[in-house]
């Protein structure tokens, strides 16, 4: 009897309802795209690194992000559908452009702030929200990748603390400048209504209204992401009264 129940549970995990499958497919499309963008970012970062170890580490991170994208795609196949990523999708194209502006300026620390503070904070927090709601192996995949992404944030904090110590005022001004570009885009991505139209990743209609059907709450995802971001800025040494004011001004 236990074997039969186990087989039934496994079958249920492989075959979600049609409506739930459509939601998870769109959620995974965002995750795959985010990981592919991260891989491109790290490859571009490697191109401006003058230190061999930093270059090798950036390329290692790029391969890690590609692996994450492959694992998310495999999670979709396990559930019976293909997952497509698109790094030119509306919001991700803007985020990629923001990172590329730092690459063109040969701004190593600006690149780290965008990728390992802003984008990774968003990834870790949102993946953990999804992990709590997603069934079985899908939830475990999101949880495992969230933990791995958290290591990237930890990697950044020490070097950014040292960089900020050299000139706190200039460092904080740079973070604020990048915040207004990158975090505004992320905030718009998590708005209930898309200002710019269809995100380009959802298979048909926007997935946001359907998220509660699989136990996800857009407000919780946004709140968790911003809290993780603020904690990272606190750990680097930025003043909480300033960073909180930045976050409050983001579009809702």
Q: What local confidence, expressed as pLDDT, does residue 8 receive?
A: 42
Name the DSSP letter for residue 203: S
Q: What local confidence, expressed as pLDDT, does residue 182 receive?
A: 98
CA 236 to chain centre: 19
**Distance between CA atoms of residues 150 and 36, nearest Å:** 17
HSE-CB of 145 using CA atoms within 13 angstroms: 31
What value, to the nearest 5°, has the Cα angle with vertex 187 and ends 63 and 113?
Answer: 45
Q: Which two tokens stand for residue 175?
A: 């973070």
Q: What local confidence, expressed as pLDDT, does residue 123 receive?
A: 96
Low-confidence ranges of the chain (pLDDT < 70): 1-15, 196-197
**Distance between CA atoms of residues 149 and 122, nearest Å:** 10
Q: What is the dihedral of CA 11, 15, 17, 18, to 10 degrees?
A: -160
Q: What local confidence, expressed as pLDDT, does residue 15 receive?
A: 57
HSE-CB of 226 using CA atoms within 13 angstroms: 25
Burial label for 235, CB within 10 Å (0-12, 13-18, 19+), is middle
Q: What local confidence, expressed as pLDDT, does residue 198 receive?
A: 76
pLDDT digits (tens, 9 = 90+) for 99-117: 999 999 999 999 999 999 9
Tell which CATH architecture fits domain 17-248: Up-down Bundle (1.20)
Q: What local confidence, expressed as pLDDT, does residue 35 receive?
A: 97
pLDDT digits (tens, 9 = 90+) for 186-222: 999 998 877 766 788 988 888 999 999 999 999 999 9
What residue segments make up the domains of the chain, in order of their start? 17-248
Nearest to 45 by CA among 69, 62, 22: 62
Neighbours of 196 (CB within 10 A): 12
**Distance between CA atoms of residues 138 and 83, nearest Å:** 13
pTM, entire model: 0.91
**Distance between CA atoms of residues 73 and 76, nearest Å:** 5
């Amino acid at each position: 009897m236990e074997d039969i129940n186990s087989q039934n549970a496994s079958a249920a995990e492989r075959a979600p309802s049609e409506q739930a499958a459509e939601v998870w497919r769109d959620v995974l499309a965002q995750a795959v795209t985010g990981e592919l963008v991260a891989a491109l970012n790290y490859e571009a970062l490697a191109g401006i690194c003058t230190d061999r170890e930093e270059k090798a580490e950036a390329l290692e991170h790029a391969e890690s992000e590609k692996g994450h994208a492959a694992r998310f795609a495999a999670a979709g196949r396990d559930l019976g559908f293909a997952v497509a990523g698109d790094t030119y999708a509306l919001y991700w194209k803007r985020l990629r452009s923001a990172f590329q502006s730092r690459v063109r300026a040969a701004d190593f620390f600006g690149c780290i702030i965008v990728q390992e503070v802003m984008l990774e904070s968003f990834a870790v927090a949102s993946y953990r929200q999804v992990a709590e709601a997603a069934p079985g192996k899908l939830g475990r995949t999101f949880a495992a990748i969230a933990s791995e992404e958290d290591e990237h944030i930890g990697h950044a904090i020490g070097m950014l603390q040292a960089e900020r110590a050299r000139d706190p005022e200039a460092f904080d001004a740079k973070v604020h400048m990048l915040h207004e570009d990158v975090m505004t885009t992320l905030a718009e991505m998590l708005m209930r209504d898309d200002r710019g139209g269809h995100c380009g990743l959802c298979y048909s209609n926007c997935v946001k209204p359907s998220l509660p059907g699989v136990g996800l709450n857009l407000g919780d995802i946004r709140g968790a992401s911003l809290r993780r971001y603020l904690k990272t800025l606190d750990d680097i040494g930025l003043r909480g009264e300033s960073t909180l004011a930045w976050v409050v001004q983001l579009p809702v």
